[in-house]
């Protein structure tokens, strides 16, 4: 290969290296932007989750306060019917008790 041919080849390689550097730099910047956006989304989601958790804790506290102030006869009464009927037990045997004279 002649000196001119080597110089041409060298310049072509230099151009490829420059293009790769520019492409890599652009990709890194794109990744930085994606990471920043993802961090913002994560922070927003975390704030939403914390708000939902606080609301849920308040609802639970309110329910506990209501139930603890109710008389046992009110729990499950016609004013507060259960949301579903409990399942009927299967294979149950009646309990037999024999009283002994004292």
Confidence of residue 37 (pLDDT cuts 50, 70, 90): very high
Tokens linked to 84: 């579903």
CB distance 47 to 39 below 8 Å: no
Q: For the segment 38-95, what is each residue's pLDDT rounded down to a tens digit?
A: 999 999 999 999 999 999 999 999 999 888 887 777 776 555 555 666 666 666 666 6
> Between residues 92 and 25, which one has the greater pLDDT?
25
Structural contact between residues 59 and 65, judged by C-beta atoms closer than 8 angstroms: no
Rounded to whole angstroms, the Cα distance separating 52 from 44 reads 12
Asked whether 17 and 9 are in contact (CB, 8 A), the reply is no
Q: Spell out the residues 6+ positions from residue 82 whose beta carbon is closer than 8 angstroms to its own.
A: 76
Output the pLDDT for position 70: 79
pLDDT at site 74:
72
- 6 backbone dihedrals φ, ψ, rounded to 5°: -70, -40
The pLDDT score that the predictor gives to residue 19 is 97
CA of 66: how far to CAs of 7, 28, 77, 80, 85, in Å?
Answer: 88, 56, 14, 12, 22
Q: Is residue 34 predicted with pLDDT exceeding 60?
A: yes
Q: What is the mean pLDDT of residues 24-48?
A: 96
Give me the pLDDT at residue 98, please: 67
Instruction: Answer yes or no: is pLDDT of 31 > 80.
Output: yes
């Amino acid at each position: 290969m002649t000196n001119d041919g080597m110089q041409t080849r060298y310049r072509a390689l230099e151009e490829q290296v420059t293009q790769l550097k520019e492409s890599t730099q652009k990709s890194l910047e794109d990744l930085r932007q994606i990471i920043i956006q993802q961090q913002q989304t994560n922070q927003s989601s975390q704030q939403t989750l914390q708000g939902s958790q606080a609301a849920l804790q308040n609802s639970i506290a309110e329910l506990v306060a209501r139930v603890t102030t109710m008389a046992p006869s009110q729990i499950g009464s016609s004013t507060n019917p259960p949301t579903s009927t409990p399942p009927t037990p299967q294979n149950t045997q009646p309990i037999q008790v024999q009283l002994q004279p004292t």
